[in-house]
Each structure stands twice: as C-alpha cells, then as structure tokens.
Amino acid sequence: MQIYLLKLLICAVCLSLICAALGHILVLRHLSLSGDTLSHGALAGVTLGFACGINPTVTALIFTVICAAVIEYLRRYYPQYSEIVLAIMMSVTIALAAIFANYAFVAGNLSAYLFGSLASVSNFDLLLIIVLTVIVLIYFIVLQRYLLLISLEEKVAAVQGLPVNLINISLSVITAITVASAAKVAGTLVISGLLVLPAAAAMLLKKGYYRTLHLSVLIALINSFGGIILSYLADIPLGGAIILSAALSLSVCLLVKISRVD
C-alpha cells in the first residue's frame, strides 16, 4: 500500500509540473488543441502496440513523436491556419486507432489507456515519467527567455536570429513525449485537459507571464491531489477525477475574476 501511494504521489507531482509548464506555452501560442490531437496519436500508437504484441507505451511514444513532426511540417504550409493541421492529424489518428483496435481484442487493457489507471502503471512507466520531468524542467530553465519571446512574437524572434523552427520542433516533440508518457496514468481521452485547464484557470487571474506559469503549476498540483482523493473516495478513473477537479479550479478562478470586475 505504501509503495502504491508513493507511486501515486510521484506521478501526480511530475505530471502536474510538466503538463502545467507545457500547457502554459501551448495556450499562449494558440495551440491548445495540439495536446488533444497528440493524445489521439498516442491512442493510435497504443492500439498499434496491442495489435502487434508490443509494449503500448513504446509504440505510443514513437507514434506520437511522428505525429508531432508531421504537424510541424504541415504548419509551414498553413502558417495562418494551424487549426487545419490539427484537424487533419486528429482525423487521421482517430481513423488509424479504429483500424488498429480492430486487430486485437483489448477492451479491458485499452480502458486503462483511455481513462487512466494508476494500478496498471509499471515501474518502466514511472521511470519514464520521472526522466521526462527532469528533461522538461531543464528544457524550460535553459530556454525560458526564448520560449517567452517566441510565444509572444514569433516573427520578432525569427528576425533576432533565434532558431524558431528548431525550438518549435523541440517543443512539439517534448509535448508528444509527455502526452504518450502520461497516457497510462491520466488516459488519452483526458490528457489534453491536464495541459490546458490549469493554464486557462491561471490566465483568468492575469498575473504576468512568470507568475501565471507558477500559478498554473500550483493549480495543476491542487487538481492532481484533488483528483486522487476524488478517485479514491468515489472509485472512478483517475484521469476523469483529475479533470473534474481541474474544472472546479477553473470555475473558482472564473468566479474570482467576475467578482473583481463587479
């Protein structure tokens, strides 16, 4: 029981840190739906793994990174319409997931990847999440100023000589790896909520870039712990419980904003 709780806390803290940090950047860059698109890519990778008898986490990682690379490539041809690229990839990955799932009966195991289940998280999955957290934190510490400039004024960043395309690709790949790694814990159908909802709630309070980022991480931690408690008490999937907790946090922040306006 103690090992289970320790694993639960480690996953909650790690995913809160990386999802809140990445989500803050994605929201600022008007790419909120990229997490949802990549989550469908992760689902296609999971079903491919089940169909081929390979570790679904590994195939989800590979497939999601490929999806991220394709999205960044197609964005060059739709510079003003990024949502078109996301819609294209989402349609294709959903279709592939449906096709791959047809080749293997995995209803019970697939449910864990759809809605999240900490009980099915292996030591490999836990180690992957910890390593990913360290990588993402180092990435943000080293590139925080560049990410801020690119998020606010990408054209200005390019004029100043920043490697905008390289940073965009690296951000997409890290987001893809995060989505794939968190799929088993939070669920592919709700992982995008972990990315977007904390940032959306923090932005309502308008505290500036860095303070909003820190507030987003704090809200994500509260959401995770609240979701864990709700999941335990109500015996519901962990991913869904965390999203309900995040929706409640968003509602509270919205009420605070409304009260300030009045």
How far is it, in rounded angstroms, from Cα 229 to Cα 241?
Answer: 8
pLDDT of amino acid 92: 93
How far is it, in rounded angstroms, from Cα 168 to Cα 178?
Answer: 15
For the cut 70, the answer to whether the pLDDT of residue 262 exceeds it is no
CA nearest 65: which of 45, 85, 79? 45
Q: Which is more confident, 94 or 152?
A: 94
Q: What is the per-residue pLDDT across 229-251, written as a single tens digit (0 to 9) for each?
A: 888 788 877 778 888 899 999 99
pLDDT band at 261; cut points 50, 70, 90: low
How many H helices and E strands in the chain? Answer: 11, 0
For the whole model, what pTM was predicted? 0.84
Total length of the chain: 262
How far is it, in rounded angstroms, from Cα 150 to Cα 261?
Answer: 31
Q: What is the per-residue pLDDT across 69-120, written as a single tens digit (0 to 9) for each?
A: 998 888 888 877 778 888 899 999 999 988 888 876 655 567 777 777 766 6
Element (H, E) at 205: none
Contact 64, 116 (CB under 8 A): no
Helix (H, G, I), strand (E, B) or coil at 187: coil
For the cut 70, the answer to whether the pLDDT of residue 51 exceeds it is yes
